[in-house]
Every structure is written in structure tokens, then in C-alpha cells.
Chain A
Amino acid sequence: MKALILYSLDSLPTTITALGGDAIAKLLESMGVEVFRFDMWKCINPLFQLQNWINKPDLIVYLGHGANDRLYGQLPLGLAIPLVEVLTDELLRGTITVTYACESGRELGPKAPSRAYFGSVEPYYVALTYPSRDFMSDFFETWKVIPQALVQGKTAGEALSLYVNKCTEYINLYGLHLRDWDGAEEFQQFLTQNRDSFKVFGDAGAKL
């Protein structure tokens, strides 16, 4: 099984998703998956195309900036030539694609020829580490759930349910600490959006 983990590093939010991408890559490697990491300047369309031609992955995980019809990849190149967009979405054909990015579930997700495409239909949030609580690590735990479940043989639909459950677990936990964890209220709201706006398109029964 081959996984391609793509993550950019060009802003504060992508500094955080880069750490999350690294955590996902390490998790999948520990599960025996052959992992290719395309980070920072490697997270660009020409190298993505080359990788697909040479060694097409079964699973793609992208973390970074997105919009309704595209995943940008590394900026500034990604502004001119997105990592993948509706016009180049053949790059995703036959894969299970997991995206932690803003809004790509609005247009790219429904149109993509992926077997299954996970994405958000709204802005997607990262979290920070506060003195009272490491919200960033909590969000990483939610991001690990879908790739891990897929590698374990779960269907796309089952993986989404597990992601929803993990988000809910933290949303409820933050609710118990609204007074004593600075930031708990904000990150409760943000994680609620990450949960409720995250969808799977294509075949919910798809497995790796």
C-alpha cells in the first residue's frame, strides 16, 4: 500500500498542518505503509504529476490551503499553478483522497475522480497550543483518524464516522472546561465546524 502525504509550509496555519502532516506520515509508516512525503517546495503540481506517473499512490493526504475548486499546495507557486484543481483532477483518479483544507468539498470534491474524496465544504480550522491545553495536538488526533481507519481496512464511510466521533469527543471535553481552559470556547466552535462541514464524496464503501 502506498500513501502520498502532501503538506505545504507558507503561513502560520500551514506551519501547524505541516506538523500534522508529519504526524500522519509517521503513523502510517509505523503501520507498514510505504509513505512518500511531498512537503514544502515539493508540494507543487509538477512534482505531484511526476509522482503519479512514476509511482501512483493508493492514498493521498493533503494538508494546506484550499478553495472551492482547488488545493493550492506550496505558495506562491500554488497561486499560479495549483497543486490540483478541477481542471487537473485526473491526478486524483483511482485514489482515496483525504484533504484537510478550506472549502474544497464545495466543487473539487464532488467532481474529483477519486474513489472517495474527503473534504470540507466550509473554512477548515487549525488549532494552537495554549498554556492551559494543547489544542493543536487534539486537532492532530482528529486528522489521524481517517488515514488510520482506511489503512486498517475500514470503508470511507466508516472512517468518516470515526472522525466525527473523535471530533465530538474533544468538543464535549472542551465544553467541560470552558471556564478553566483559555481558548476552549473558540476551539470548541472551530472543531464543531471541522466536524460538521467535513464530507466524503464518491463511494462511501471504498476501501484501500
Chain B
Amino acid sequence: MARLVVHLRDVTTGSPIPFTAVFVGSASAVSDMSGNAVFDLPPGSHSISVRSPMYVAAPGSPSSVSVPGEVTVQMARVTL
């Protein structure tokens, strides 16, 4: 197994986005107060998606990630 760290950031402010569900392959985790979600996964390429009631992944965000590694997902707020 190898480590993947996903950083969730607000695309406008750069601030971390906590308590948000991140899905990598068949695994899932919730981002911490610093907007980070940590996974231990088999090495290789995995799909990634993020689900939030307030944000969507900004256009151009990665749809796959390499493990081991680190990736930042820029999120855009879509609620008024």
C-alpha cells in the first residue's frame, strides 16, 4: 500500500475545505480541518471525485491520481 494526500482548496480564496467527502477508486475519506484527506491505496492510477453540498470541482480538476502522491483539488463554491 502507498500513501495519497488530497488537498481540497477553495479556488477563489485558497482556503482549505474541511469535512468534505473524497472518493479515490473504491476508497473514501473525509477531509480534515486543514482540508486534507489521506488514503493508503495500492500503487497506480485511481479515479478521484469529491462530493460536497456547497462546492464542485473547478473545471479542469484531475479526474485521476497517481499513488503514491499528493494532489490539490480546486473547488468552486456554488451556493448563494
Contact = CB atoms under 8 A, between A and B. Distances in A.
A66 B80 CA distance: 7
B56 A12 contact: no
B64 interface: no
Identify whether the interface residues of B are mostly helix, strand, loop, or mixed. Answer: loop
B44 interface: no
B63 A125 contact: no
Interface string B19-36: 000000000000000000
Interface in A150-164: none
Interface string A8-21: 00011110010000
A186 B56 contact: yes
Interface of A: 11-14, 17, 63-66, 100-102, 123-131, 182-183, 186-187, 190
Given A13-B80, A123-B80, A125-B79, 6 more contacts: A11-B77, A12-B12, A14-B80, A126-B78, A183-B56, A187-B56
Given A11-B12, A12-B12, A126 B59 contact: no
B58 A13 contact: no
A190 B78 contact: yes
Given A12-B11, A12-B12, A123-B54, A17 B59 contact: no
A100 B80 contact: yes
Range of interface residues on chain B? Answer: 10 to 19
A65 B54 CA distance: 13
A125 B59 contact: no
B9 to A, nearest CB: 13
A147 B39 CA distance: 48
Interface string B41-70: 000000000010110111110010000000
A83 to B, nearest CB: 13
Contact of A102 (B12, B63, B79): B79
